[in-house]
Amino acid sequence: MNKSSLETAMSSSLAIPSSPLRGLGFSSSSVESVLRTAVSVGVRPLLLELLAGRLPPEHFRSVIARTALDDERRAAGAAIAGNDVYPIVHGGVVSASVDLAFGGMRTRVVDADSDFLSRHFFLAWNPNGKMHSVSAALSNCFSDPVAGCRVRSLSALAGEMTRNLEKQDWRACGQGFLDYNREFQAWSKSYLSPSVASRMSSLVSRAGKDRLPGWKHPGAGDAESVLLVCDGRSETISFLRSEFQSCGWEFQPVRGQGGLQVSLDTPGQKLTVSAPHRVDFIGAADLGADARIAVEGTCLACAVGPRLQIDCPFVHALQGDMRNGWNATVDRA
């Protein structure tokens, strides 16, 4: 396929898939922003170079991350989303630190064993449940007179969580979640959902803290969703799955995902772009990027499924009709 056909195929009228996790703390808006940026007119020359094998994927991802981050911050009127965009773009478990001079995030991939994660870390959410209110949490965080101290405290927790993941100390990770709950509730005043806290208190009481040492909300909190740590025993996992599924919640292990992926199926003439969601292990410290706080905070997050995907059959480009050429899907694998 020649360059002009590919450019024609990159229609600006593509549909971005709607996330099934919207409003539950899994950064669905940032996933959509990353996908939108990856196929936007502004980065089309880079995409063409990437597909031609003349641009390293790492460089393409870096540009997409910074562009999507700037777009999210401009739309929000606040320096948010650093701990959302970068893990989504780069994949895996990512430690992301605010760089005030650069305006973006310094990142490093954490050596977290995938089997350890999927055995001890689980996500649960009510697909029809209460969603979080990001605006309320942000308002409280930015107006806090000791916000800088909050950022430093959360950054210290992120460092501890990183070390505990690398040591595969699931008990310490569980305690880290409880410490985060306390710190971020004190800062945001709106993080903990009373109904979810009550549900988790009951679960911990029945399972025992030795089996279920900690949990937290994903994202801004106050939604019907949780990230929890357990002992990894099959009977514990079966108990938790039964408890959540009996009340209509989804329940799945944390399985790390690769980041933004772009591929061209030449025989099938189809361009595919996909990106994961993300769950924060220790979040919120990226708010230090905002001028109202101006403290270099560090967060920790993991890219997780389901992936959102858009693809374009190039036959539409050859026919000169791309109005309905893009398909949006959710890959639950």
Which domains occur in the chain, in start order?
Answer: 3-331 (3.30.70.890)
Residue 13's pLDDT is 45
pTM of whole model > 0.85?
A: yes
Q: How long, in residues, is the chain? A: 333
Task: Report which of 282, 213, 255 is spatially closest to residue 113, judged by C-alpha positions.
Answer: 255
Range name among 38-52, 145-159, 170-184 with the lowest pLDDT average:
38-52
Percent of the chain with pLDDT over 70: 88
User: By the 8 A CB rule, do 26 and 278 touch?
Assistant: yes
Read off the pLDDT band of 40 (50, 70, 90). confident
Alpha helices in 208-278 (DSSP H): 234-245
> How much is the CA Rg of the chain, to the nearest whole Å?
20
Average pLDDT over residues 173-184: 98
Residue 41's pLDDT is 76
Residue type, 305: G
45-58 as b/e: b if 16+ CB within 10 A: ebbeebbeeebeee
pLDDT higher at 296 or 104: 296
CB atoms inside a 10 Å sphere around CB 213: 23
Average pLDDT over residues 116-123: 99
Does 147 have pLDDT greater than 90?
Answer: yes
Residue 163's pLDDT is 99
Task: Report which of 63, 38, 57, 44 is spatially closest to residue 3, judged by C-alpha positions.
Answer: 44
Does 309 have pLDDT greater than 60?
Answer: yes
